[in-house]
Structure 1
Amino acid sequence: MLRLLPPGHPEQDTAQGNLAMMLAARGTRGDLEDAVALWRRGLARTRRGSHEWALACGQLAQGLYEMFTAEGDVSELDEAERLLGGALGLLPRTGRGDVLRGNYAIVLSTRHQVVRPDPGGLDRAIGIFEDLIRRKADPSAPELPGWAATHLAQALVNRYTDRSDPADLARARELGSPPDGSTVPGSRLAASAAIGADIQATVAMYEYLTDARQADVDQAIHDQQRAVDQSGDDPVRRGPTVINLATTLAMRHYARRDAAPTHPSAGSGDIATDLTRALELLRGLRTADTPVPYRGGAMALHGMLLMDRYMTDPGRYAADPAMADQLLSSALELPMDYRSRIGARLRLAYSRLAIAHSTGDANGLDAAVALMRGAVSDIPPQSPLHAGALGCLADVLQTRAQTTGMPEHQREGTELCREICRNDADSDRAAVYLAARGWAQWAWRRGAMDEVAEAGRIALPLLYDIAALQLGREGKAVPLRQADRLSARTAFALVAVGQSAAAAIALETGRALMLGEVMQREHPDLLSLMDSDYHNLVSRFRRAAERLTSVERRLLFGPQDAPVIDGARESYRARLDEMDDVVQDIRRLPGFGTFLRPPALADLTGTAASCRSTLVYLAATDRGGVALVVPRTAAVPPAARTRTGPGTEVTAVPLPRLTTDFEQSSVAALRLALERDVEHGDRDAAERSMDELTGRLWKSVMEPVVQAVGSGTDMVLIPDGPLGTLPLHAAAYPDPSAPTGRRFVIDDLPVAMAPSARTLSIAVARTPAPVHRVLAVRDPRPSSEVLLPGAVSEIERIRDVLPPSVRVLELHGAAATRQGVQQALVDVQICHFACHAHAYPDRPLDGGLSLAGDASLTVRDMFAMPSISARLAVLSACDSGRFDETLPEEVVGLATGFFQAGFAAVLAALWPLEDAPAAAQMALTYRHWLSDGMSLPAAVRSAMVWIRDSTNGQKAAAFPELDFAPGDPAATADAEWLSTRDHSSPLVWAAFVCLGI
């Protein structure tokens, strides 16, 4: 048609413009070039400075921008900016003029992001978008405000990347919300939804980088997948969203590296698959489907992922650094945005470092450091990415120092770590924590205990805060697993530099964080506010705590292994923010500045005083172990004193044999003894194994501890890691004068256990109400479990020692249901379970007590129980004292479930029980405690000693109803049998531990 019109025809410009738009709509490079050529021709025929000329400039600029998007030629973007800048002054602030103003803002924002940083241009773009949103939509462009809001969100994210202003990120999050309702992928509405989801994913990623909250990276992947799904087949839209999805998957891989459960039967979930999926996405992305400005970024990301894969298994993926080097080098020759270019240079430095490290090439190491320095220097100091990039540089410097061994290289790496921790502690706790943790690990390998102590004291409080920010138990488990004995190593190093009190604080800070977080919601300090002018803060705190607990309970029983995203994430975050607000208000009160902060020495000494017991922390490392003794008074023998604080004495007891290897071999030895006894029925071999184990525990751990604490002193052990699974109270040495020929720890002092000092202090502070009601649960039926022959007698013996005023609610048979037990627990002071229990190392929350109908009262149930106030839970059931072996520092198990639910103390079994001795032991414990007035740990000790030292005849006489006698009645008259001690082995009497006092 255009050819049919003669030159100068009045419809020629219109026809030419229509043809150009149709060509541009087809989107191929040739069609775009033809369209731009037509628009140039039309612009040349238009009078410069006229209204029509301004519109023609805008049309040509749009075509140039689309060409830049397809091919990445920066000159086309620059020309688009000049054209729009010259046209805007000629157009009114309405209609088509506003559309071109918005296009100008997009060009400015794109130039800042893709070509070169231009903070002034980005601010101008944001100002234009803000103005378009504020003004009412023109009837000729009704979609303009929504369109401007989407692009404003993108521009605000760009500015946040440079300046770290939280207000920019919060506004972007608000503006980038995708439209409600379903959309058709590839449609115009879907395109808007894809952009919105992409923005939300980016915001979530930056939130993760700030707080290391695992739910944020899960949300980013979820949102980015939605963006991909809505993009359809349009390569301009789909390619970048696929690249972004691969980026977020790689970020989650990095976020959860080294956080997989270590138990061999525990799965690693998506941790190992994220990197594989990201690589598959990039391999499946055809070059033709990726706009040129993004091809370099995609290639660079592929190289980065190969380096990440190499770091997971250098032996298996030894060829990856060379491939990554090639990809990254090629990517840097292509157009890409400046942030991707910086990231590519960072990873190229890593690949060069890996190659130089493997070959010992000193020049290559220096070149890698120089490349990393150059990339870091291009990141604005106020950017949220700056501290993390400095951490990468510190990592590179540490690797160089490790390779060369040169002192100046070590000093350089150390000083950079200090600089990060000093300068970024208030702005980027996640990056500072990673830097401090990495520094501590590096210093530990070098044996630089002063640096381990310094770095660990920075990292541990940050770990405390980061764990508290996580949404749900699985999220909290990630940083806690990654810590990898950080508290134990820090404590060991602090002892080495003469800071024993700080060492005890380090162990307390890293111990039972999840349990302590929940239990501290009933913090005893709040009681002092009840009768003050601030009583309203107590009400606010309790209301906020109950709302937060309610959300946590819903998560416990929601779909397992499902990420906390969308509504659940928002609800959880809102409850955490509500709790944080009231906690901050309480901290502003005089004397409450440390409320719910990481522990201080006063928390430890106060617990020891209130419990009237000496606290003993135990920790093992690969360099040896340490015990830290916090006495109930300051009266420590002068020769043993290590002064570490005004008026307070903390004794450090070196335990050089207590290594992690010793710890693991001891756990294996215990399992071997139990296997010989339970599975093979070889009691003699099992007892010999147990005797060997308890002897090793005495020489390597408990002998110096008992000497430091002193005979007759009540002691509470707070063991780190798997030590809590071992019978430390049964550690022994030969003693010919003893009835069994051996003397045990419990012969010198009562022993209780505690997850931490903070949880113990809260348990002790719970109102010790008089015992009015006891719940006794036995023999649930129907059940696939065998009946326990001594259960009836066990409960009857308990009835005998209780005061007449105490009511016993007994649930057995069909009455012992899960629901019935849960309801009864709310209104008793003591509960006693004589039944079976099961522990599952790979899913500890599902372990529990077996009830009627083969139902279970699980760890999950107890964690979700409404807060109650009770004195004692007795779990006279096999394995009821076992806990999560993949995260031992958190002590996640059935016993701590009852502890968290509100019981001041729990008796539980570390291994399977023998029926008659267990029943007798429980009866004796109650008698000594309730009738004889002993403390609970002392009552447990006395019962153990009697079971151990009494003869068969004495047991048969004291407990005729229990099955102590042999099958042949005539044997009961045999003098040899009557005088024998068949239950003297710790295998029989040492299974129970007393959690709390």
Structure 2
Amino acid sequence: MPLDDLSAKLADLLAEYEAIGDRTLPLGAEAGEYAEGLWRNVRAVDTATASPVLIDAYARASVLLARLHYERHSLREGAAGDVDLARAVVALAPVAADRRRVPPPMRPLLGRASDDETQAAAAHAMLRSPARDPALLDAAIALMTPAAARRPADVSRQAALCTALRLRHERDGSPDDLDQAVTAGEKAVAGHPETAAAWEALAAAYRCRYKLRGDPEDLRRGIRLLERVAHDGGGPHVLADLGTAHRLLFEHSDDPGHLNTAVRLCESALTAAGEDARPAWRSELSAVLLRRHERTGSRADLDRAADLAEQVAASAPEDDPDRGVHLAEAATAVLRRQRRTGDPDELDRAVVLAGDALDTLPEDDRRRPVVLRSLADALHRRSIATGSLDDLNRAATVAGWALAAVPSGHPARGPAAAHLAAVHLTRYTRTGVLTDLARAVEAGEESLASPGSLPARWSMLGEAYRLRSGTVASDADLHRAIELGRRAVGATAADDAALAGRLARLAAAYWTRHQATGDSADLDRAIILGGRAVARTPADDADLPRRWADLAAARLARHRAGGSPGDLTAAVDLAERAWNGLPRDHPDRPRAAAGLCRAYQARVERGGGAPPPDRIHALAGLDDKQPTASPADRVAARHAAGLLARAAGAGRQAAELLDAAAALLPSVAPREAGWADQQHRIGAHAGLVAAGVAAHCDRGDPAGAVEFAELGRGVLLAAQAGTRAGAADLRDRDARLADRFQWVCERLATPGFGADERRRWWHDHDTLLRRIRALPGLERFLAAPRLDDLRAAAAGGTVVLVNAGRDGGDAVLVTADRPPVRVPLPELRDAAVADQVTALLAALSGGGTLSRVMVRRRTVRDVLAWLWRTAVGPAADALGPPRPGPHRVWWLPTGALGLLPLHAAEEPGRPGALDVMVSSFVPSLRALRDARNRPPATRREPLTVVLEQTPGQADLPGAAAEASLLGGSTLTGPRATAANVLTAIGNATWAHFACHAVANPVSPAAGGLLLHDRTLTLPEIAGLRPAEAELAYLSACSTADHGVRYADEVLHLASAFQFAGFRHVVASLWPVDDTAAAEAATAFYAALPETPAADAAAPVLREVVLGMRARHRADPTLWAPLVHSGP
């Protein structure tokens, strides 16, 4: 109801009451309704910005409201009457300067005629009232402020004003109230320095100001005041307050003396009070004991703290305003106890307690952030123990609310930000979504801006930087991680129970730097620090198995580097402890199993005994029900168990375990995230494809080797392909289901959507997929294809799978009409492949001096000759003599072999690959099948993109010659922007790019074409849907290079264009001189038939490269990198 209408109705009611004196009128429901409505309306008016008309209406309503409440106050006693008087004062105070507006009965309280004795007496009564209405505090301050000003030496008034202002600050958070509270308290103490009430009031204000601003001197001032009160016989509440102050001072200084003093004082308070002890004092003792447990590791302190906290929570009445805080404190204590007991029921209890606490507190309660953190902590801890992603997601949300609820600059933002960082860090390790890692670093840095617990925050932030260093290959991040870790350890006392965790994190940082640099000193540091961490961790601590596992990995690494039997023995022992120390259903168990398998494998390789097959099977976890274990950890366990089985000579078991690992690989990548996150997660399992292919070849199962390669290679692209699958069969069965599935797939295939949206769409995708596969005849809809489904892709030629291994490699020849054939390649060792790739990349990255050019040419010749001897030559021999023309071959290399020019392999002076075969490269048989199945273009719509000059790059003067090769649309110079290219390519069937490109070995998904305004990235290219995409010619730098770490994901420009739908792609393995690139492109288009289809692309490119070889025999860098992808 509008303000004026409510005022009119209330005025009528008051007039009627004055006329007939019926006391039921002001006390009735109708009056109460008007009063509540006017109270809300009046409190909502901003007098600083209101119009004169609204100001008048506000004043009239305020007077009417004050009259009503004063009349109600005069008619009833007790708490209800106190509240009415308070509301009358609060309503009238803003307009009381105008004496005409103040009702006569209220003039002693407000206005120019007010009486300070009456004001002080009323304020004291309001502060003592058992009622809990906020107006009591506001009215007491409104009355006591002028009363205290009139008699500044009146200690009781200044002390009461100090207390009231401090309480309102605690309620509303106003710094001004707190400053005024301190001022009033200091006046009270100065006016009569021997008054205990004033000392207590000022001490409480100082303590409150410390919480706001973090100045420890405020705590010390408060402690001195309370010690004087205690010395003069202060009651138990003074001892309890002193205990709180010493606890806070410990949290600032980390001086255990304050902590012990706090425990003694709180114990004394409870003893002195006996049965009359307040719940808040028991709660404080619980908090102090919990802090001492965290500092010393005392189990007795922990158990007593938890018992006290639960007792206080259980005994708190439903209407106790502190009940929510007590419940949250109980949740925190129970959580800490659970870390030592391992009791899963206590995790559930902590979550329930914290959830009840949040439900109990009003939305506007300023203690709500603390309770939110308690709930987030409970959910976080339960997710760590159980692997529940739902708990973890909810913890991240609640921790975000907790931080948002703390004002900027408040000391409480530090702990809230640190907790949010810890939750995001856990979620990153669980899902691999890089935005979580970025948020962890951001929140961790913010936490350092607030005082208190800095060593804990340094340690946690150092861990975040350590993990980020692995995603961006940043030396700066790793340096920062070690710096923060050392600072945290250095600032932690030797007897602090937190030291073990900080030592473990610093050890991990040194271990990571060792992995990046090979520095043995860092490895030694990691082992020393890790050993200290283990020694300081209690036997019942939940983190001990993880620390055993980390130390085992470091000892194993030192054994591999130096051959020390002692390190190997220690590694096996530690890894066994880690695995045996975890419950069977613990989410960390697969990670521990992987470490133990690696230790056993090293022992086997040194001639030691192998564990029995059933032990290896158990380590793989195939029979364990671990639905909450990380997919990445489960893949790692199966991978490591498979390698162990192979080392032990159990070939069949090795193949089965590696198959199980590959089957789970598609679930590793975080589907709700982008390519960058997914590639990083999958890249952590490098070597799995090579191991699985080798295991099947060992067993004489080349078909299984091919199927394994199909399952384990190109996982990211295969998942994306699943969102583009044709649904003709489905549409015939259920058109509505097909439409819905297509709609979801289109959104999943579009980059740029947020993680929450993608997570929701993937859930819809999986639900729809289950419904589709339930339809008759569609049981294998979008399932991984079997070899029999794919062999037709090799029609007219042979797909050659090439794989390197530790002791030799294999090629598998796949044809459309015969079983696959294995070709042993005994000289193709993975170490030799790594050496060749390293040498090639080093040579290609050299400068343009004559000596560097000569080294580059010689290196490429050496690589081509090595490839012919070890891989391509034996495969060519197995194909037989070419007749009537060259063999048609599609190369399918695993791992780093994909970076090498297999198609151009040759020994000087002898026929090579170019002479005996027409070569193409394919990411997988499935990709070749899909390219064959796409119908050729029916029209030729060319698009040419040429950039002679690109900001920040060397000029490409030779690119100008390529602008007119195709005709049709041309985008050059400033017109060649990403937006224009994306628009134009939608209508093109042939596309030619003569520009720079970038290949990012750390994050291939970040690579792309360097256009005038920005990089056109791989995900953007792969997201294209040209209607009749036929040929993409990438006359640019490194358009088929994808780095070593993610080699089996085959993420590069050529594969991105092929995924976008182009049937044929011509690209380059490394940067080519722009003049030579123009020469190759000119010859290619001149020889290619002028038809819409480009099915002659592979043989034509071979002829072009043969011609360039003839003209540039001495410089293979000009012709060896040119490759074709497609049918």
TM over 0.5: yes
Question: CA 1:985 to 1:536, structure 2 compared with 1: closer, same or farther past 3 Å?
Answer: farther
Q: Give matches, 1:248-267, under 5 Å.
A: 248-250=464-466, 256=470
Tell me which residue corresponds to 2:1126: 996
Question: CA 1:93 to 1:392, structure 2 compared with 1: closer, same or farther past 3 Å?
Answer: farther
| Pairing partner for 1:280 from 486, 495, 503 | 486
Tell me which residue corresponds to 2:985: 825
Tell me which residue corresponds to 1:607: 793
Which letter maps to 1:785? Answer: L
* Separation of aligned partners in 2, 1:779 and 1:16: 79
Report if the CA contact (8 A) 1:54-1:87 is conserved: yes
Report if the CA contact (8 A) 1:137-1:143 is conserved: no
Tell me which residue corresponds to 2:1058: 899
* Separation of aligned partners in 1, 2:541 and 2:933: 58
The alpha-carbon deviation at position 678 of structure 1 amounts to 9.2
- The DSSP-based 3-state class of the residue aligned with 1:131 is helix
The alpha-carbon deviation at position 504 of structure 1 amounts to 0.8
1:157 paired with 2:361, answer: no
* Separation of aligned partners in 2, 1:822 and 1:360: 56
The alpha-carbon deviation at position 494 of structure 1 amounts to 0.9
Which letter maps to 1:619? Answer: N
1:773 paired with 2:977, answer: no
* Separation of aligned partners in 2, 1:110 and 1:547: 41
* Separation of aligned partners in 2, 1:272 and 1:45: 54
* Separation of aligned partners in 2, 1:61 and 1:472: 46
Question: CA 1:456 to 1:784, structure 2 compared with 1: closer, same or farther past 3 Å?
Answer: same
The alpha-carbon deviation at position 501 of structure 1 amounts to 1.1
Question: CA 1:856 to 1:65, structure 2 compared with 1: closer, same or farther past 3 Å?
Answer: closer
Higher RCO structure (Cα 8 Å, ≥6 apart)? 1
- The DSSP-based 3-state class of the residue aligned with 1:771 is coil
Q: Deviations over 1:726-760 (max 9, x none)?
A: 554455689xxxxxx97565665543332222223
Tell me which residue corresponds to 2:529: 324
* Separation of aligned partners in 1, 2:1090 and 2:363: 86
* Separation of aligned partners in 2, 1:485 and 1:75: 49
Report if the CA contact (8 A) 2:947-2:972 is conserved: yes
Report if the CA contact (8 A) 1:461-1:598 is conserved: no
* Separation of aligned partners in 2, 1:62 and 1:870: 70
1:241 paired with 2:418, answer: no
Report if the CA contact (8 A) 1:880-1:895 is conserved: no
Report if the CA contact (8 A) 1:470-1:476 is conserved: no
TM-score w.r.t. length of structure 2: 0.67
Which letter maps to 1:927? Answer: P
Report if the CA contact (8 A) 1:872-1:905 is conserved: yes
* Separation of aligned partners in 2, 1:882 and 1:161: 41
Tell me which residue corresponds to 1:966: none
- The DSSP-based 3-state class of the residue aligned with 1:339 is coil
Tell me which residue corresponds to 2:1042: 884
* Separation of aligned partners in 1, 2:890 and 2:984: 30
The alpha-carbon deviation at position 179 of structure 1 amounts to 4.0
The alpha-carbon deviation at position 105 of structure 1 amounts to 1.8
Tell me which residue corresponds to 1:105: 330
Question: CA 1:283 to 1:983, structure 2 compared with 1: closer, same or farther past 3 Å?
Answer: closer
| Pairing partner for 1:173 from 393, 396, 415 | 396
Q: Give matches, 1:17-36, under 5 Å.
A: 26-27=249-250, 36=263
The alpha-carbon deviation at position 109 of structure 1 amounts to 1.1
* Separation of aligned partners in 1, 2:870 and 2:632: 38
* Separation of aligned partners in 1, 2:266 and 2:1058: 76
Structure 2: tracts of 5 or more residues without a match: 1-193, 197-226
* Separation of aligned partners in 2, 1:176 and 1:744: 63
* Separation of aligned partners in 2, 1:676 and 1:100: 65
Q: Give matches, 1:572-651, under 5 Å.
A: 573-574=759-760, 576-608=762-794, 613-632=797-816, 634=817, 636=818, 649-651=819-821
The alpha-carbon deviation at position 830 of structure 1 amounts to 2.0
1:532 paired with 2:736, answer: no
* Separation of aligned partners in 2, 1:6 and 1:207: 49
Q: Deviations over 1:694-741 (max 9, x none)?
A: 66655543444345456456432223345455554455689xxxxxx9
Tell me which residue corresponds to 1:130: 355
1:432 paired with 2:625, answer: no
Tell me which residue corresponds to 1:718: 892
Question: CA 1:277 to 1:543, structure 2 compared with 1: closer, same or farther past 3 Å?
Answer: farther
- The DSSP-based 3-state class of the residue aligned with 1:759 is helix
Report if the CA contact (8 A) 1:202-1:220 is conserved: yes
- The DSSP-based 3-state class of the residue aligned with 2:943 is strand
Q: State the percentage of identical aligned residues.
A: 23
Q: Deviations over 1:73-111 (max 9, x none)?
A: 443444445555666666533316725742662464145
* Separation of aligned partners in 2, 1:628 and 1:430: 29
TM-score w.r.t. length of structure 1: 0.74
Q: Give matches, 1:826-841, under 5 Å.
A: 826-833=986-993, 835=994, 837=996
Tell me which residue corresponds to 2:609: 407
- The DSSP-based 3-state class of the residue aligned with 1:92 is coil
* Separation of aligned partners in 1, 2:241 and 2:670: 60
Report if the CA contact (8 A) 2:324-2:358 is conserved: no
* Separation of aligned partners in 2, 1:532 and 1:450: 41
| Pairing partner for 1:459 from 657, 661, 665 | 661
Which letter maps to 1:601? Answer: L
Which letter maps to 2:875? Answer: V
Tell me which residue corresponds to 2:108: none
Question: CA 1:823 to 1:414, structure 2 compared with 1: closer, same or farther past 3 Å?
Answer: same
Q: Give matches, 1:749-898, under 5 Å.
A: 750-776=918-944, 784-787=955-958, 791=962, 795=965, 808-809=968-969, 820-833=980-993, 835=994, 837=996, 858=1016, 860=1018, 863=1021, 866-875=1024-1033, 877=1035, 879=1037, 881-886=1039-1044, 887-898=1046-1057
- The DSSP-based 3-state class of the residue aligned with 1:241 is helix
* Separation of aligned partners in 1, 2:861 and 2:259: 85
* Separation of aligned partners in 2, 1:831 and 1:850: 15
Question: CA 1:271 to 1:597, structure 2 compared with 1: closer, same or farther past 3 Å?
Answer: farther
* Separation of aligned partners in 1, 2:514 and 2:1120: 47
Tell me which residue corresponds to 2:1080: 918
Which letter maps to 1:285? Answer: A
Q: Give matches, 1:937-956, under 5 Å.
A: 937-941=1098-1102, 947=1107
Question: CA 1:681 to 1:767, structure 2 compared with 1: closer, same or farther past 3 Å?
Answer: farther
Report if the CA contact (8 A) 1:215-1:470 is conserved: no
Q: Give matches, 1:392-403, under 5 Å.
A: 392-402=595-605
- The DSSP-based 3-state class of the residue aligned with 1:623 is coil
Question: CA 1:29 to 1:322, structure 2 compared with 1: closer, same or farther past 3 Å?
Answer: closer
Larger Rg: 2
* Separation of aligned partners in 2, 1:8 and 1:458: 75
Question: CA 1:179 to 1:302, structure 2 compared with 1: closer, same or farther past 3 Å?
Answer: closer
* Separation of aligned partners in 2, 1:329 and 1:850: 50
* Separation of aligned partners in 2, 1:573 and 1:754: 30
* Separation of aligned partners in 2, 1:360 and 1:990: 41
Question: CA 1:150 to 1:651, structure 2 compared with 1: closer, same or farther past 3 Å?
Answer: same
1:927 paired with 2:1089, answer: yes
Question: CA 1:204 to 1:583, structure 2 compared with 1: closer, same or farther past 3 Å?
Answer: farther
- The DSSP-based 3-state class of the residue aligned with 1:518 is helix
Report if the CA contact (8 A) 2:555-2:571 is conserved: yes
- The DSSP-based 3-state class of the residue aligned with 1:764 is helix
Question: CA 1:532 to 1:689, structure 2 compared with 1: closer, same or farther past 3 Å?
Answer: same
How many correspondences in the alignment? 885
Which letter maps to 2:698? Answer: A
Tell me which residue corresponds to 1:962: none
* Separation of aligned partners in 2, 1:70 and 1:673: 56
Q: Give matches, 1:552-567, under 5 Å.
A: 552=752
* Separation of aligned partners in 2, 1:671 and 1:82: 64
The alpha-carbon deviation at position 770 of structure 1 amounts to 0.9
The alpha-carbon deviation at position 337 of structure 1 amounts to 7.8
Q: Give matches, 1:188-227, under 5 Å.
A: 190-191=411-412, 193-226=413-446
Tell me which residue corresponds to 1:389: 592
